[in-house]
Structure 1
Amino acid sequence: MNIHDDTKRIKGALAPERLQAWDAEFAADPAGRLAMNAVTRTSVDEVALDRQRLLGVQLSMSNRLDNWDAADQKRSGRCWLFAALNLLRSDARKKLGVKNFEFSQNHAMYWDKIERANYFLEDMITLASSTPDDRVPMFLLGNVLDDGGQWNMEVAVFDKHGVVPKSLMPETESSSNTSRMNASLRTLLRKGARLLREAVTEGASESTIDDMKQSILRDTHRVLTIHLGVPPQSFDWRWNDDDGGFHDGGSLTPQQFLAEYTEIALSDYVCLVDDPRAEHPKGRALTVAHLGNVVGGDPVLYLNTDPDTMKRIAAEAIVAGEPVWFGCDVDPQMEGKQGIWAADLIDYSAVYGVDLATTKEERVRYGDSAMTHAMLFTGVDLVDGAPQRWRVENSWGTEKFDKGFCTMDDSWFDEYVFEVVVQKDRLPEELRAALTEAPIVLNPWDPMGALA
């Protein structure tokens, strides 16, 4: 059958005469031709940028905490770990008297990877009775050992494995560029998942299955160590502060180092999220099935609330001298040279002559927005108590933006910020009460399960 024959049409097929009509329509549209001439030679972001709006986002802050250098996650998805370790170092740098002290992000990733491998294999054993093409195992197999994570996952790693100075477990080629290492680990773990599932369905004993799992984890440990190095179990800690003073901290384990040089009690914090979907009421706790890394660690827990509450509590923390970890959808409406966000900064609709306007709920519900990046609020500009803009410590090095720091107009917070981590004692009473209730359990593939 000739699909171009007018007498024989395939229902739903794109008709040639329609394409010809659209070509003619575009050719007769001077605005479309002008946009094409611009966008074929220049980035559409540059063409669509509202430059007056950009100039209106000032960089000054009434409350600013940072006077240190931004870190660099390089070609890895470790932003969530960088943001958390940047929060911890804001505390440690005071005790150490070292402005640009950093914890080892490589150390944190090493332990997240090995713990997450164990978590994944336990899931595969538990789900062994389901077929490989069931949606849950399919989803888990498709997202093995990603670099990203959520707040409760990093707390679980720090609680169990502590932290160390960056000088004791520095970056490696693979910690800064994780793709090849991750590919090998995924192959290893997917092979292990197949072997474990087969053993379970064939009726192998629990001890046999556990022995198989330990063998897979031993191989995982070997691959990780080849790529990332050996994490220290204990170390002698001596350092010079910024004034040249010498200090001897003695012999410490990573867990002792965390306790000795930070005062932030990680268990006192909770993650507030803005899930805009009506079926997930504000004031309720949420969790995501199969999302975690440390077996036996606290599950990922969110308190669903409105952006204004999130802003108020985050601003209070900054004014009190504490940076705030947050997660967002980082790419939309961002001017990439200066590092400025505003909800109405880039007008694609005007360039295309096509209505692209959507709400936050519509973007979440239809897969157009989710948590993609975690950073740290290090400042807020308040006018009569209301935030106008936010200072952000990114983890993309010091060569970009304002020496690695960005500025967020408050309008962007409403549209693209999804979560902030705050101390529980800053919560209003009704949100504290929600912590005692059983959370709504979301599917593993739910947008709120996206890894920052």
Structure 2
Amino acid sequence: QWAMAASLVKKYGVVPTNAMPESFNTNHTAGLADALARKERKDALVLRKLVQEGKTEEVEKKRKEFLSEIYRMTAIAVGEPPKTFDLEYRDDDKKLHLDKNLTPVEFFNKYWNINFDDYVCLTNAPDHEYGKLYSLPFEDNVNGGLPITFLNVPIEYLKEAAIKQLKDGESVWFGNDVLKEMDRKTGYLDTELYKTDELFDVDTYMTKAERLATGEGEVSHAMTLVGVDLDKGEIRKWKVENSWSEKSGRKGYFTMSDKWFDEFVYEVVVRKEFLTDDQKKLAESKPTPLPAWDSLA
């Protein structure tokens, strides 16, 4: 979820790669993820048993113990971020600068002009009522962090807000179902890419609402909109930056058809200024909490 990453940066800041270089485990996270998942599942069995036995005080004690072990595993695998670091750089005029003893939070606040509270996650979930703000409280995993919320609106509003933000010079985070109608090598995202129904002489088409309701559709990946091709206001295609290295697509960039946006894009994160007046009011309203098994989860 976008709010998870925003909460981490807001709370802990960021560091440049020279202060904490990438390692094998940060570039190949599958092994660590597997070890953490196995540890957490075993811990869950212990905690559930304690709850069933009514040992509430022991639950919190064990939870803290398990979190400490999770932290140790992660620190061993990827290292601990530096508490302070020095930043040396040349500006556009080739003048040398040295900024000493920066904390990660100071670095972020000084060199980035970003207010995460200015952003809203617009979602297009046709199996839910439009014009409502929803939340996923069970996924709020950063203490004191931003709540995970979605303002559910028709798909055209996601496009309008995304285009406005792109025209303003800022890329757009978006959640999507990337494995549907996608070719990794060429980087094409197009609903006409594979003609499997014609091959088998069947009809497997489902609406977006039906795909969400059955689990066929999901937000499986996040990418970034970095461009849009417009012809007299009509959308021809979108330019997408992915995170699968330069070996995928055209040096890491994908081409997405507008129909693919309709079918497989579920979320865009945009600044509030690009919403309608009614949407701005809804974004400030009390959200309706969704259960853990909801299709938006």
Residue 438 (structure 1) shift: 2.5
Matches within 5 A, 1:310-329: 310-329=158-177
| Structure-1 residue corresponding to 2:30 | 179
Matched, 1:233 2:83: yes
> What are the ranges of 5 or more consecutive residues in structure 1 without an aligned counterpart?
1-149
| Structure-2 residue corresponding to 1:408 | 256
Residue 423 (structure 1) shift: 0.4
1:333 equivalent among 181, 187, 205 = 181
Check conservation: 1:311, 1:387, Cα contact below 8 A: no
- Which digits, 9 at most, give the CA deviation of each residue in 1:54-105, with x for residues without a partner? xxxxxxxxxxxxxxxxxxxxxxxxxxxxxxxxxxxxxxxxxxxxxxxxxxxx
| Bigger relative CO (Cα 8 Å, ≥ 6 apart) | 1
Q: Secondary structure at the match of 2:139?
A: coil
Matched, 1:353 2:204: no
Residue 171 (structure 1) shift: 2.2
Q: Secondary structure at the match of 1:447?
A: coil
- Taking a change above 3 Å as real, the CA distance of residues 232 and 383 of structure 1, as seen in their structure-2 partners, is same
% identical equivalent positions: 37
How many aligned residue pairs are there? 297
Matched, 1:369 2:217: yes
- Mapped to 1, the partners of 2:82 and 2:118 lie a distance apart of 27
| Structure-2 residue corresponding to 1:399 | 247
Q: Compare the two structures and name the one with the higher strand fraction.
A: 2
Check conservation: 1:172, 1:227, Cα contact below 8 A: no
Q: Secondary structure at the match of 1:330?
A: coil
- Mapped to 2, the partners of 1:348 and 1:245 lie a distance apart of 59
| Structure-1 residue corresponding to 2:65 | 215
Whichever residue aligns with residue 177 of structure 1, its letter is H
1:388 equivalent among 236, 239, 242 = 236
| Structure-2 residue corresponding to 1:136 | none
1:189 equivalent among 40, 47, 50 = 40
1:299 equivalent among 147, 151, 169 = 147
- Taking a change above 3 Å as real, the CA distance of residues 188 and 261 of structure 1, as seen in their structure-2 partners, is same
- Which digits, 9 at most, give the CA deviation of each residue in 1:357-416, with x for residues without a partner? 221111111111111110111111112223221111111111222111111111111011
Q: Secondary structure at the match of 1:430?
A: helix
Q: Secondary structure at the match of 2:247?
A: coil
Whichever residue aligns with residue 70 of structure 2, its letter is T
Normalized against structure 1, the TM-score is what? 0.62
Check conservation: 1:163, 1:255, Cα contact below 8 A: yes
- Taking a change above 3 Å as real, the CA distance of residues 234 and 274 of structure 1, as seen in their structure-2 partners, is same
Check conservation: 1:285, 1:435, Cα contact below 8 A: yes
Residue 241 (structure 1) shift: 5.6
Matches within 5 A, 1:115-130: none
Q: Compare the two structures and name the one with the higher helix fraction.
A: 1
- Mapped to 1, the partners of 2:206 and 2:54 lie a distance apart of 52
Whichever residue aligns with residue 168 of structure 2, its letter is A
RMSD: 1.9
Matched, 1:434 2:262: no
- Which digits, 9 at most, give the CA deviation of each residue in 1:189-235, with x for residues without a partner? 233333334444445464x5443322222211111111001211111
Whichever residue aligns with residue 424 of structure 1, its letter is K
Check conservation: 1:315, 1:387, Cα contact below 8 A: no
Normalized against structure 2, the TM-score is what? 0.93
| Structure-2 residue corresponding to 1:249 | 99
| Structure-1 residue corresponding to 2:74 | 224
Check conservation: 2:173, 2:224, Cα contact below 8 A: yes
Matched, 1:152 2:31: no
| Structure-2 residue corresponding to 1:271 | 121
Residue 289 (structure 1) shift: 4.2
